[in-house]
Amino acid sequence: MTQCPVSGLSVTEKDHWSFEHRQGNYTRKYSLIGTDIIHVQELADHDIVPDRLYAADFSSLTGEENLSKQPVFILMDCAPVADLNFTYKREFTNLLTTQEFDLRLIVLYNIQPSVRLQFEMLQCLAPEKLPVMLAGSYEEGMTSILDFKSGALVTAKPEPGSDEAFRKSYLADVSRMLMLAQFDELSVFPPDGHPAFPYFQILDMMRRDLVALDDEHHQLIEKIEQDFRVLLAGKNSQLDEQVEITKKNEQRFKEAESALLSRIASQEIEATRISTANAEKNAALRALFDMIGTLDLDPASMEKISAQCAALFETSDKAALVNTELTETDSVFLSKLQKKHPNLNQRELRISLMIKLDYHSREIARSLGLSTRGIESIRYRLHKKVGLDKHHSLKTYLANLATE
């Protein structure tokens, strides 16, 4: 552990307190002098323009070293700094105005002439309880902190009305406008005829113009917000109208669907009635024809009667239950099934026939344009509709019904 050559205090350094800035090709190094002085060094062999102050690093270091509840001082080496970008200045301003720890004094040293004026402007933003000092060297900066801590440091204020007072006032007003967006009246105005009077006049003109621009900016924002509210209201109105149209269309489609489903159900019932009637008629005709065959009739009469009966048979009944013509046996089976279970609809009758004919669920699904899972669901409902428990086979039940 090293010692500070000015104060003799111990200097704590840690590897993770050093950060290499790759784009700027320089290194920022933190160390702790004694127990309360944070020393910041920008290390480079060339001029740099730091893009950020990284003010959060100070809070992190004070938290790590348990310094949050005690006074802390910052000593910054600015030797390679040739210029400052806006982000750096904004973060420096935030460090002055947002107290996340008990910071009492900031001392900057080794300041190049090219950047001194910018640091002086930032110095003018410092509140009374957190002064910013500009020192020439490390020794001078360290001595200033030690004197400040002991109460021996006296900061001389420029005499009111002096050139130095007007200069500091000018820098303070410019800094407030640029960094804090404060456009109040100028704090000091030199008398007419003073060499600085024209500069303060120009600054005041800029201030008024910035106020006007700020007002114009707020008016533009208000107009944009108003236009957006009008546009949003219009879009919401259109959306409400579209929702209402959609609801009406949905209701109309539901009514149309209900009417079509009712019509289909009616036609299925009628088709089933006709199919059953045809099956019964064909069965009766077949029985009549068989009875006539037992009669003792001459061949000519028998041939004539046979021709008449054949013409009466329902040969045009395609029914397409399994994409084939219904046989007489199929018609009789359907008739029996419908009479015993009148609650079955046309599709359930059709599927029952195909199950009885030993069609697999995949084949039934393919034939009817349904999914296999859909056919399995229908089979499950059929099982319950015909009153079977889970231990009895639907196929066996239908086969036994056909033979009754």
Query: Average pLDDT for residues 213-219, to the nearest whole number?
Result: 91
The span from the CA of 82 to the CA of 24, in Å, is 12
For the cut 80, the answer to whether the pLDDT of residue 269 exceeds it is no
Q: What is the pTM of this model?
A: 0.57
76 has which bridge partners? 40, 108
Do 2-155 and 318-404 come out as alike in CATH topology?
no
Q: Where are the domains of the chain?
A: 2-155, 318-404
> For residues 368, 372, 373 and 375, what is the CA-based torsion angle, rounded to 10 degrees?
40
Instruction: Give the pLDDT confidence score for residue 315 in this predicted structure.
Output: 42
Q: Give the pLDDT confidence score for residue 266 in this predicted structure.
A: 72
What is the CATH T-level fold of the domain 318-404, as seen in this structure?
Arc Repressor Mutant, subunit A (1.10.10)
* Three-point CA angle 203, 209, 213, nearest 5°: 140
User: pLDDT band for position 24 (50/70/90)?
Assistant: low
| CATH code for the structural domain at 2-155 | 3.30.750.24
Nearest C-alpha neighbor of 33 from the set 63, 6, 64, 4: 4
Helical H runs in 294-327? 299-312
pLDDT of 279 reads 66
For the stretch 30-66, pLDDT in tens is: 999 999 999 999 999 999 999 888 888 898 999 999 9
Mean pLDDT of 151-173: 85
Q: Is the pLDDT of residue 307 over 90?
A: no
The pLDDT of residue 61: 92
180, two tokens: 């804090």
Which of 157, 152, 208 has its CA nearest to residue 184? 208
Residue 313 has pLDDT above 60, yes or no: no
- What pLDDT is stored for residue 316 in this prediction? 38
Q: What is the per-residue pLDDT for 250? A: 93
